[in-house]
Amino acid sequence: MKTLKRSYIREILDATTEETISFAGGLPNEKLFPLKQIKKATNKVLKNVNALQYSKSIGDINLRKKIAKIYTEKLDFPTKEDEILITTGSQQSFDIISKTFVDKTLFVQKPSYIGALGAFKILNKKLEDFETIENLEGRLNEDDTLYLMSDFSNPTSICMTNKQRVEYVNLLSKKSAYLIEDGAYSLLSFNGKIKKPIASAYKKSFHLGSFSKIVAPGLRVGWIRTSKENIEKLLIAKESLDLHTSTLSQMIINQYLEDNDLFRHIKTISFEYEKKMQYMAKCMKEYLPSFEFEKPKGGMFIYGKFEVDSLELAKKALEKNVAFVPACVFDVNEEKSTYARFNFTNTSRKQVKRGIKLIAEIISKS
């Protein structure tokens, strides 16, 4: 099963046509991209020829200042610009941090973001999974690494409680392990409430963020928030990967943030996404009553449980031009599973209804 992850995603991509109803990807809705504002920002930025020149590996200082401000003011996590390293999408962080700091065991929660697992695996990191903090207690050692998504996790969309966060801080402190806290979805909270990152109470940490879900993913701009000393070390890996993140992309986002209210935009997206989630949930309850799930409070996915093997079902669905992701791909050992992830952000109501009904038909026929 070693190459399943890749091959299944490939299979989806290869089998995906204009006709496919895809609940599979993690694509934000392009209708909600601030296209007009990005155009304006781009035109401003392209007055300066430096937007096309090489730039520093650590990233644009103005953008880093703005991200630091978001941490300080919105996440209640005081941050300075020299604690921010710009990355080519949040995805790049996994490689950079792993190369620099991960020598011992890397613990990932079950299930975990497939892109993180892929990046850790290709560097041959020693991966182990765990389900709850109790499973981790006796296994986590000094300088091991813990990878977590505390807010609206991909794939489960679960947001950790404050109590759970405190428990993680206590465990990490006791063991002196590294924390990689992935905040790709942290700001996509339907009620607008944002919890304090675990990293804000634990120094030996890397907090990851991204503009992919809240502005636009095509620009490939993310970041790592950690100590200045850690960033100095990470820069060697960052530089060796791509010298620096696209100067133009960074300057466009910086200008966009300069001229617009990001959090107002996030409010708009979240409002639309919650409506989309509610509609998908309604369809699932109506046509797929055997699919067990809880409605998420943020993020981009409904995660739940079928009564049948989800990989088999996903393959059959794909033949009918409906794509979703079976949970085995989010598992280190790719164990069989009945769980599945449905993305609700990038399909129309019509598609959702039709797609869910088609899956229901497949189940009823088998």
Q: Are 212 and 186 in contact (CB under 8 A)?
A: no
Question: Cβ 123 to its own copies, closest distance in Å?
Answer: 8
Q: Which residues bind its own copies (CB under 8 A)?
A: 6, 13, 25-28, 30-31, 33, 35, 38-39, 42-43, 46, 49-56, 88-89, 91-92, 94-95, 99, 115, 118-119, 121-123, 212, 216-220, 236-237, 239-249, 252
CB of 122 to its own copies, least distance (A): 5
**Minimum distance from CB of 106 to its own copies (Å)?**
14
Least distance from C-beta 31 to its own copies, angstroms? Answer: 7
Closest CB to its own copies among 173 and 240? 240
Kindly state the smallest distance separating residue 18's Cβ from its own copies, in Å: 13
Q: Residue 51 and residue 293: Cα distance in Å, rounded?
A: 46
DSSP assignment letter at 298: B
Residue with smaller CB distance to its own copies, 183 or 304: 183
Give the shortest CB-238-to-its own copies separation in angstroms: 10
SS3 state at 147: strand
Instruction: Pick the closer one to its own copies by CB: 199 or 221.
Output: 221
Instruction: Name the residue nearer to its own copies (CB basis): 94 or 168.
Output: 94
CA 113 to chain CA centroid, nearest Å: 7
3-class state of residue 243 by DSSP: coil
CA distance 106 to 104: 7
CA distance 280 to 300: 11
Question: How distant, in Å, are the alpha carbons of 114, 186, 311 from that of 192?
Answer: 27, 10, 34
Q: How far is the CB of 235 from its own copies (least distance, A)?
A: 8
Distances (CA, A) of 329 to 48, 96, 106, 130: 44, 23, 18, 16
Task: Indicate the angle between helix axes 4-15 and 310-319, nearest 10 degrees.
Answer: 20
User: In angstroms, rounded to a whole number, what is the distance separating the alpha carbons of residues 191 and 81?
Assistant: 28
- CB-nearer residue toward its own copies: 164 or 246: 246
* Beta carbon nearer to its own copies, 61 or 237: 237
Q: In this structure, are residues 248 and 51 in contact, taking their beta carbons and an 8 Å threshold? A: yes
Nearer to its own copies, 27 or 201 (CB): 27
Q: Which residue type, as a one-letter code, is found at position 140?
A: L
| Owner of token pair 């039709």 | 354
CB of 221 within 8 A of CB of 192?
Answer: no
Please tell me whether residue 114 adopts helix, strand or coil conformation: helix
Q: Cα–Cα distance between 344 and 22 in angstroms, integer?
A: 9
Please identify, using beta-carbon distances, which residue of 175 and 238 lies nearer to its own copies: 238
Shortest distance in whole angstroms from residue 249 CB to its own copies? 5
